Structure 1
Amino acid sequence: MDPSGGAGIQADIQAITSLGGHPLPVVTCLTVQDTHNVYGAEAVDAQLIRQQLQCLDKDITIHAVKTGALGNAAIVAVLKDFLDSQDDELPLIVDPVIKAAGGGDLADDELVQAMKDKLFPRAEMITPNGEELTQLGGSDDADQAALNLLQAGCRSVLATGGHGTGIHITNTLYNHSPEPMHWEVERVGSNEYHGTGCTLAAAIATGMASGLSARASISQAQNYVHRTLLHALSVGQGQRIPDRGILWER
């Protein structure tokens, strides 16, 4: 949970709602952060999260699951147990949050390994940015890093380009097809934004929850994120925040 309102579960709630979905927010990690960086984080008790998931599952039909900063390996184990109780076709979008854009850590080695072992093989898609892809895939070459993740059990890897440079942002989908797919959109401004990765992954999950294919969900999500950046908000002295409250024509 980001108290600046720029990233994390607040970003998910706003994006999902804007795209016509209904979010079921389960907070996994409380942070100390602002629009500059993350300065501290504390995981929520894993058994409380287990109770929340069980309670929701008894009452509401769940159409997709999206993860963000998970807090610790115990929470990953709880989430894995929950997913094992669901239909194998329930889409899981994993945004493997390791570091904040400002450089602050949000995952230790144990948590990263737990995600790789227990969530990545189950996920429909993981959505690492460039730095996360390098760390998770063990290579500075994006293609090789993605291939390493696919060989380790990932179904698909969407390498996001928002933290790069250049006049265009390129998001690249790697799966077990012969060639990766690319989505390109004009970069808005020259600065990084706070919460774009959360917004993109949540928008993809919303598309899949509504029945769109993975490719159609990526296209819709990228267009949505681009529009939120065109209207980005300066709420603090650091990074600007996507305006996820914009009206979205569906």
Structure 2
Amino acid sequence: MQADIQATTALGCHPLPVLSCLTVQDTRNVYNAEAVDADLVRQQLEYLAADCRIDAVKTGALGNAAVVNAVADFLDQHTLLPLIVDPVIKAAGGGDLADDELLSAMQQRLFARAEVITPNGIELTQLGGFEDQRDSARHLLDGGCQGVLATGGHGIGEFITNTLYRQDQAEKSWQIERVGGEYHGTGCTLAAAIAAGRAAGLSLEDAIEQAQRFVSGAINHALAVGHGQPVPDRGVTWAAQG
């Protein structure tokens, strides 16, 4: 949630955060997680939508299948909103954040509704069922996904390659220089930044390009907050300068 709020704010949007899952975590791992009551999630969404204009929606750790259904029911009433789904399965430190029931609910109710989902390599293999990135992405597209942005932050090599797969369209890839090591919350930051771009009226491809530049800058200014992974600096000051 902190990553989402900081990234969207830095990119000129006003976030309307809805808590869906409470965690016990530090810079090393996630140790416990508990879903917020689905009716509370539903109420948060309903009251915010009644009061504020919403231009895009980004989801992260949803907690359980009941929360997924609450979010999906809300989206069924707001069908024109761009939806970016970060299918959070595991924390970077290895902690589990989704069970099979939650994953099934996301696939059945959110994936087809999303403009793009943003799995990392591990998540893509688990969701798509194939070791080959392209095969997994195509399997998800055949299952109803509109777009799959396969992120390469967990790979190796001099550059991080993120590839967008869409039905009946050519693949498009972007590369940014890889900075060694793991960073806490880069996937959340990327998905939130894409949502911010879409909320501001950018096309999906332009939103992805802007988001990648933002994440690269945040990593280059990463902060040593604890004894684990460095935390990307999503601060407004350097982002405005960049």
TM-score with structure 2 length normalisation? 0.97
1:200-220 deviation per Cα after TM superposition (whole angstroms, max 9, x unaligned)? 000000000010000000000
Partner of 2:135: 144
Partner of 1:224: 214
Between the aligned partners of 1:183 and 1:246, the Cα distance in structure 2 is 24
Q: Runs (4+) of structure 1 moved beyond 2 Å?
A: 246-250
Q: What is the Cα deviation at residue 33 of structure 1?
A: 1.0
Q: What is the Cα deviation at residue 135 of structure 1?
A: 0.3
Partner of 1:34: 26
Q: Is 1:213–2:203 an aligned residue pair?
A: yes
Q: Is 1:182–2:170 an aligned residue pair?
A: no
Partner of 2:91: 100
Between the aligned partners of 2:224 and 2:156, the Cα distance in structure 1 is 21
1:93-141 deviation per Cα after TM superposition (whole angstroms, max 9, x unaligned)? 0000000011110000000000000000000000000000000001001
Identity within the alignment, %: 65
Query: How many aligned positions are there?
Result: 240
Between the aligned partners of 2:80 and 2:145, the Cα distance in structure 1 is 15
Tell me the SS of whatever aligns to 1:161: coil
After TM superposition, the structure 1 = structure 2 runs for residues 70-149 of structure 1, keeping only pairs within 5 Å, are 70-86=62-78, 88-149=79-140
Partner of 1:6: none
Q: What is the Cα deviation at residue 179 of structure 1?
A: 2.6
Letter in 2 for 1:57: A
Q: Is 1:195–2:160 an aligned residue pair?
A: no
Partner of 2:51: 59
1:138-186 deviation per Cα after TM superposition (whole angstroms, max 9, x unaligned)? 1001000000000000000000011111110000000024431000010
Letter in 2 for 1:14: Q
Between the aligned partners of 1:177 and 1:241, the Cα distance in structure 2 is 37
Tell me the SS of whatever aligns to 1:24: coil
Between the aligned partners of 1:165 and 1:68, the Cα distance in structure 2 is 25
Q: What is the Cα deviation at residue 31 of structure 1?
A: 0.7
Asked if structure 2 preserves the Cα contact closer than 8 Å seen for 1:14 and 1:244, the reply is yes
Tell me the SS of whatever aligns to 2:97: coil
Tell me the SS of whatever aligns to 1:79: helix
Tell me the SS of whatever aligns to 1:122: coil
Unaligned stretches of 5+ in structure 1?
1-8
Letter in 1 for 2:190: L
Report which stretch shifted further, 137-146 or 172-181: 172-181
Unaligned stretches of 5+ in structure 2?
none
Asked if structure 2 preserves the Cα contact closer than 8 Å seen for 1:228 and 1:246, the reply is no
Between the aligned partners of 1:14 and 1:224, the Cα distance in structure 2 is 11
Tell me the SS of whatever aligns to 2:67: helix
Between the aligned partners of 1:100 and 1:177, the Cα distance in structure 2 is 32
